[in-house]
Structure 1
Amino acid sequence: MIISILTSKFKTNRFGLILAKYSYRVKLNDILAGRIIGLESTHALVDIGLERAALLPREEINVSAVNNPKAALYIDFIGEFLILSINKTTQQIIVSLKQVDCMRLWQRIRQIDFKNTVIYAINERPLRKGKIILFYGLKFFSLNSHIPKHYRRKKRKNFLLPFKFIEVKDIIHIGYLNSRLAVYPRFSQNLEVGGTYCSNVVSIKSFGIFVNIYGIQCLLHISEISYDRISDINSLYKKGDQLKVKIVYKSIQQGKISVSIKKL
């Protein structure tokens, strides 16, 4: 939606004069300079150069939660505000400081060498299939399968974890993190392809068994268990069984190790 420009009537406003000079028409997702002219418990009033003051909800002030706008802002604070919405009837404008900061933070994230860089981010809260991770004030997601079990068991929040980015979607500003890729090179350096090791069964799936060697989870695919066809893998093994296995594949880039019994 686009609204016609009505120059601000607030005193000492230069933003309105600039907008009026160029006959600017305000629309959604514009970023305009503004000045805080009022503070309430739930919102702030912003002069962005229009006749009507814009509304800045407290949840749009900062990437971190703000309970009271008066603790984060002050009268005459000047910043850049993104137009979130425009009410067609009242022409009330809702703006955001947080979204502008997020855009800048995202630009910094894109400067990271994702392939070779290990970052340390904060475990904020668990979800059913993973965890929300905080980095540079932005929220990312990591699957539980991408986090070592030792860290998944920790109940406390806000502790640092090493991660690597595995996927970044610029358009919708979503990133996926993997902690296993970050810790894998250090813990797997003693595991060599062709080596034989004792392992413990940690989980059994229809396609194979996951075993633990020196704290590293490795896959024993069903095709690497026996030369004979296996109809029910659960009838052969149970969680906690000790198996002697041979490493047949190792990838630092993928954070994967495959083992075999039949090649012993």
Structure 2
Amino acid sequence: MAALLNQFCGLRCPPASSSSLSKPAPSLFTGKRVSTVVSAYYALTSEQKERLKLKEVFEEAYERCRTAPMEGVSFTVEDFTAALDKYDFDSEIGTKVKGTVFMTDNGGAVVDIIAKSSASLPVQEACIHRIKHVSEAGIYPGLVEEFVIIGEKPSDDSLILSLRAIQYDLAWERCRQLQAEDVVVKGKVVGGNKGGVVAVVEGLRGFVPFSQISTKSTAEELIDKELPLKFVEVDEEQSRLVLSNRKAMADSQAQLGIGSVVLGTVQSLKPYGAFIDIGGINGLLHVSQISHDRVSDISTVLQPGDTLKVMILSHDRERGRVSLSTKKLEPTPGDMIRNPKLVFEKADEMAQTFRQRIAQAEAMARADMLRFQPESGLSLSSDGILGPLTPDLPAEGLDLSDIPPAEEEAAYSE
């Protein structure tokens, strides 16, 4: 038995697993457990070696950062502070800075202005007009623009920028220039009160007194309509912008010669005629001036929104009234009812004929007057034209503003 035991003790066993190492080995003869210590060796994989190497590098770096964080670094804290001071700029309110938009959202945009922190552009400061998103004002990531500083956020000391303030100054400068040039501009009516209406011109809200409006319309009737306007007062310091529709209308009407043909749009129909918009001026096409044939119902010939050619019969500059005619443009009586397209095609030709007849009649009247003034040296040509004509006559014909308005001469036309 002793010999047999010595044989078993001399056997070599393979490395035991971790599970087998945790349990005591049972005795072959006594039935009791015997404690056995087994030593095992195995090779590391390439992945395990790499992880072990990374661990050593990390531990070395951690120890270096803990004990000597600035070792080997040439850029010191003092250098960093000096760099900030070198590239810093004046951040006072009112200062203009150039920046690059790098993010937009519903609240506005975030702008890089090469400062210690980014700046914000609120949506209400992105444009002089009211917008819901900065994209409506052409603001997008990557846009380089000049902004003006208008404030600072107390929470993080970041700056607040504005484009609206810059556009506001440019709008006032533009209005001063337009006033100096005496230019007629279009303004959209957005509000009103008992004294007049508010119109937007160049992005600014200007006031148009009712005394400076050529029509008798109420403020409610003028809302959302565009009016031709001229500048009366432009005072940026007092924020006063006063406009006049009457001055603009007088300027436009001065360019309308009697007998000239203009393009118009039917605005509304009345039993006595149609109101025609001729470039911002409201003219009346009386029912008696539509055609040589009798028109009992205007709606059978015209409808609101129709575009047509009309001839200027007369205009009252003080009251802003213009009398129009299509009757004078008919090649043959009744064409406006039967074939309005032909009337518009022949409009310029018929108007020229009308102006020539008026000029000849005027010349004959002058000739009759000169029979009593032979020393004037004027004579009548074979065409019935008196010459030389006075230099103040318009190129398109005579200004017959003294002729009664169309609605007054209607009683004699039939």
- Which TM bucket (shorter chain)? 0.5 to 0.7
- Spell out, residue by residue over 1:15-56, the C-alpha distance to the aligned partner (whole angstroms, 9 max, x if none): xxx995475321111111111121111221111222222221
Work out which of the residue numbers 203, 211, 226 in structure 2 matches 1:137. 203
Q: What's the CA shift for 1:77?
A: 1.1
**Counterpart for residue 248 of structure 2:** 182
Greater Rg by CA:
2
Counterpart-to-counterpart distance in 2, 1:45 and 1:163:
39
1:85-124 mapped onto 2 (5 Å cutoff): 85-88=151-154, 90-114=156-180, 116-124=182-190
Counterpart-to-counterpart distance in 1, 2:205 and 2:235:
13
**Counterpart for residue 231 of structure 2:** 165
- TM-score relative to the length of structure 2: 0.37
Question: 8 Å contact 2:179–2:230 — kept in the other structure?
Answer: no
Work out which of the residue numbers 121, 131, 136 in structure 2 matches 1:66. 131
Higher helix fraction: Structure 1 or Structure 2? 2
1:216 aligns with 2:319: yes
SS of corresponding position for 1:100: helix
Counterpart-to-counterpart distance in 1, 2:248 and 2:317:
16
**Counterpart for residue 28 of structure 1:** 93
Q: What's the CA shift for 1:104?
A: 2.1
Using a 3 Å threshold, how does the CA distance of structure 1 residues 74 and 215 change in structure 2: closer, same or farther?
same
SS of corresponding position for 1:55: strand
Question: Sequence identity of aligned pairs in percent?
Answer: 23
Work out which of the residue numbers 213, 220, 245 in structure 2 matches 1:147. 213
**Counterpart for residue 46 of structure 1:** 111
1:3-18 mapped onto 2 (5 Å cutoff): none
Counterpart-to-counterpart distance in 2, 1:89 and 1:182:
51
Higher strand fraction: Structure 1 or Structure 2? 1
Superposition CA RMSD, Å = 3.2
Counterpart-to-counterpart distance in 2, 1:143 and 1:106:
20
Alignment gaps of 5+ in structure 2: 1-82, 255-315, 321-414
SS of corresponding position for 2:99: strand
Moved over 6 A (4+): none
Using a 3 Å threshold, how does the CA distance of structure 1 residues 173 and 52 change in structure 2: closer, same or farther?
farther
> Matched residue pairs, number?
177
Question: 8 Å contact 2:199–2:206 — kept in the other structure?
Answer: yes
Q: Match for 1:51: what amino acid?
A: K
Using a 3 Å threshold, how does the CA distance of structure 1 residues 169 and 214 change in structure 2: closer, same or farther?
closer
Using a 3 Å threshold, how does the CA distance of structure 1 residues 214 and 24 change in structure 2: closer, same or farther?
closer
Question: 8 Å contact 1:187–1:216 — kept in the other structure?
Answer: no
Using a 3 Å threshold, how does the CA distance of structure 1 residues 116 and 67 change in structure 2: closer, same or farther?
closer
SS of corresponding position for 2:174: helix
- TM-score relative to the length of structure 1: 0.56
Alignment gaps of 5+ in structure 1: 1-17, 189-212, 218-264
Counterpart-to-counterpart distance in 1, 2:127 and 2:136:
11
Q: Match for 2:120: what amino acid?
A: L
SS of corresponding position for 1:107: helix
**Counterpart for residue 77 of structure 1:** 143
- Spell out, residue by residue over 1:78-106, the C-alpha distance to the aligned partner (whole angstroms, 9 max, x if none): 11111111245642322111221222232
Ranked by relative contact order (alpha carbons within 8 Å, sequence separation 6 or more), the top structure is: 1
Q: What's the CA shift for 1:151?
A: 4.4
Counterpart-to-counterpart distance in 2, 1:20 and 1:127:
55
Q: What's the CA shift for 1:71?
A: 4.3
1:56 aligns with 2:121: yes
Counterpart-to-counterpart distance in 2, 1:37 and 1:185:
49
